[in-house]
Chain A
Amino acid sequence: MSVSPESLRLQMRGISKRYPGCLANDRIDLNIQPGEIHALLGENGAGKSTLMKIIYGVTQPDSGEIVWRGKPVKMRDPAMARSLGIGMVFQHFSLFETLTVAENIALAMGRAAGTPKQLEGRIREVSQRYGMALEPERLVHSLSIGERQRVEIVRCLMQDIELLILDEPTSVLTPQEADELFATLRRLAAEGCSILFISHKLGEVRALCHGATVLRGGKVSGHCVPRDCSDLELARLMVGDAEGLESTYAKVQGGEHFLQVNELSWENADPFGTSLRAINLEVRSGEIVGIAGVAGNGQDELLAMLSGEQLLHKRDAASIRFAGEPVANLRPDARRKLGLAFVPAERLGHGAVPDMSLSDNALLTAFQQGLVSNGLIKRNKVVAFAEEIIRRFAVKTPDAETPAGSLSGGNLQKFILGREIMQKPKLLVAAHPTWGVDVGAAAAIHRALIALRDAGAAILVISEDLDELFQICDRIGALSSGKLSALTDTPSTCQVEVGRWMAGEFGANPSPIDQAAANPAPLS
């Protein structure tokens, strides 16, 4: 691209940043033009976060130059970045849940901007102008994740903004919400605001962005126009080798029922939680069943029921059965003895203890695999087991004594999944197995799941990623408000139909579409 530096909104030249043990950014160049939606693509650990923190003044580069509207600047801190017109929406929102939308925005903007009451009018105006419905008086804790994200964006837009940085903004949104966000972003760009859009979802980058800079291992691996590239080409830039990236897996029928969930209902005492309503579900050995759904529709509750974190009374024990045996009143360790393995939704703090080493984390769930005798830990066996996981599942880590919290998301997920698979489970329940995981690791995780299926295990995957479910699942259903749709063979349905199930359009009767097809409405 031959553009004179003066006409660029932001130019970064030769940015390098070294952290102890790794070169996070290695001589990175990045140009963003006014009104451009520019994608920053890369796997986890490729250096995207470091680069955007440098732009926003959170960290300082070791070398290199930032040129803002033709003038070199030294970005001291976020306050300076904001005063130049740079706004940023982080993946984890920084909102106070007990305050209202207006109070949160007033807090962030400082005293000079006025009181929350004074701001309400402008908040309404900005949110309407960009098509982001938002009520300033509402308390943040009552907002959905998508609405909270709007608060963050509106907060940025309240100031004169010339560059908006969004870190993986769609990872928390439903497809519909993401489309609304894209419309907003396009309008913003049309008004001349530049947008730096960080993502690893190739489809949305191609749909939204004008230009892209791809990072790999801290270096720029290429600049491109996403619209003119295929997913495969983009993925190759991101991960280098593209083995298995585009795989389709054969669908199978499965054998005996292993997991049977029968009329499972559960009243959630938490007013913010979801109650489960008469869930019926069975997973056969040797098949993968997928459950789609927008977060908060009962996924966490169903998972807790299956893992044994939430126990049912003995009289309801038969509402969950493993190979015919009632288990709904059994604790997690007893269920593991019967062949359950479990990958929770949150890697850190649930699936793994961040401050413990990988070998301790291997012991965490595999303690029934002969790693403990007479109450004492067989340290050699534990380390050997952990090293075997690291080797077989290509986990990138210095050694088995590294704390789990220091691994990248994808690597830790490979480790957790490997830990469960190595225990040769008869049933694997995996929640969001590739959430926040880069393309390369996601492909490896999918291959491992398919291999486990082909080895005869029953697998249940709960995910919000429809592409993923359609790629790996043999049968599919969706959760909505604590109710589960009927399961259907994946090849005989489509994303649109599953999307309707996610919105709750299913029931004992055939869906309205089928009904319409069966008895065409009489023309009046």
Chain B
Amino acid sequence: MLLSLEPRGQQSRAMLWLSPVLAAVLTLISGSLLFLALGHDPLETLHTLLIAPLSDWYGVSELLVKALPILLCALGLAVAYQARIWNIGAEGQLLIGALAGSAVAVNIIDWESQWALALVIISGIVAGAAWGGLTAWLRTQFNANEILTSIMLNYIALNLLLFFVHGALKDPAGYNFPESAMFGDASRLPVLSEDGRVHAGLYFALLALVAVWVLLHKSFLGFQVKVLGLDRRAAGFVGFREKRLVWFALLVSGGLAGLAGVGEVAGPIGQLVPQVSPGYGYAAITVAFLGRLNPIGIVFSSLLMALLYLGGENAQMNMNLPQAITQLFQGMMLFFLLACDVLIMYRPRLKAGLFKRSSAAVSNEAAV
């Protein structure tokens, strides 16, 4: 028997949404096999990983806390990816947002006005957008591949953050720990309820969700972004300005990642630390694709990703599993998603009989 793929001719709407589900199921199965191989009961481990974290309200609130930065980054990435601009730099844009927000916040610790928070947040967004803008500039000015430049800018951002947290922004009264001073209360995002850490960043995320949804589904600007992504020549022939759209997509995507970063330092963390993000910006890439670059889909996929983060911590504490489990699951998820996405355009079919094909048959059919 031979498994072959036949082109469907047009994309299957059902598979478009089934593929992420299938990918999640395959990830679970492979994960179970892995746990089995490591000598753990798969069902119990999966329970620890995926269900136990949500057993109480605190767990759910932690889930939201983790989901917020991922959601913000992924929403921004969705805008860029719709234009087929492969921004891999959400992590760096997030870190720069956190860094800039912190730089402002530690200088206005004494402020008591509401403007303190606004200033911190805005500086985070602007810095993230500027970091994304660097990629846009390199791409539009020098035609530099944005995948490479945005990845490299991630490392620059991380080292800038470490430089400042070990230097200029280090808390003078902090016993030489690489941490900034705690922010003033006026520049912290207020906590929404007593029994959890969910903070006002939730409102920003909801706002961003609505804004990105309107942008992508209702606005002419979003239409132009999509046309650019699907068909550059068509965009050119009607006069959509490619450079402007590239700038726009990267500024939006950088700005939202910057917001995610400043939301972390002004929210749950409360100061600048070296580990602002456990790779939220990278996770957001998987999340954006898992959510089909659709804002609503991204809400679900970012919740799932947040659950993996929580579960990973849980599994580390309770079962002595390495924290790398989280990254492993992220990786598997993306891998299976990309594999399953083949089924959107192709239908699998079993062919009876094994026969050899001449090289001519292969080369000719590939061209058909």
Please list the residues of chain A having a beta carbon within 8 angstroms of any beta carbon in chain B: 19-20, 58, 76-79, 82, 90, 92-94, 107-111, 307-309, 331-336, 342, 344, 346, 349-356, 360, 363-365, 367, 372, 375-377, 379, 403, 405-406
Contact = CB atoms under 8 A, between A and B. Distances in A.
A367 B219 CA distance: 12
Contacts of B230: 353-356
A364 B368 contact: no
B93 to A, nearest CB: 25
B360 A333 contact: no
Contacts of B361: 77-79, 82
Given A353-B234, A376-B218, A94 B364 contact: yes
A342 B237 contact: yes
B141 interface: no
29 contacts: A58-B365, A58-B368, A77-B357, A77-B361, A79-B361, A92-B367, A108-B363, A110-B358, A110-B360, A307-B237, A308-B239, A309-B237, A332-B239, A335-B239, A336-B238, A336-B239, A344-B237, A349-B233, A353-B231, A355-B230, A355-B231, A356-B226, A364-B238, A375-B221, A376-B218, A376-B219, A377-B220, A379-B218, A406-B9
B360 to A, nearest CB: 5
B15 interface: no
A19 B223 contact: no
B365 A109 contact: no
Given A94-B364, A108-B364, A350 B237 contact: yes
Nearest to A112: B358
B220 A375 contact: yes
B59 to A, nearest CB: 40
Contacts of A335: 239
B359 interface: yes
Interface of B: 9-11, 214, 218-221, 223, 226-227, 230-231, 233-234, 236-241, 355, 357-361, 363-368
Given A79-B361, A332-B237, A363 B10 contact: no
Interface of B is mostly: helix
B360 A352 contact: no
Contact of A365 (B9, B214, B231, B238): B238
A364 B224 CA distance: 9
Contact of B239 (A79, A331, A405): A331
A333 B239 contact: yes
B218 A377 contact: yes
A79 B236 contact: no
A151 B240 CA distance: 40
B219 A79 contact: no
Contacts of B365: 58, 77-78
Among B10, B359, B360, residue most surrounded by chain A Cβ atoms (within 10 Å): B360
A178 B215 CA distance: 51
Given A309-B237, A332-B238, A349 B231 contact: yes
Contact of A367 (B10, B220, B360, B367): B220
Given A94-B367, A375-B220, A406-B9, A354 B360 contact: no
A94 B10 contact: no
A84 B48 CA distance: 62
A331 B241 CA distance: 9
A322 to B, nearest CB: 15
Nearest to A109: B360
Contacts of A365: 238
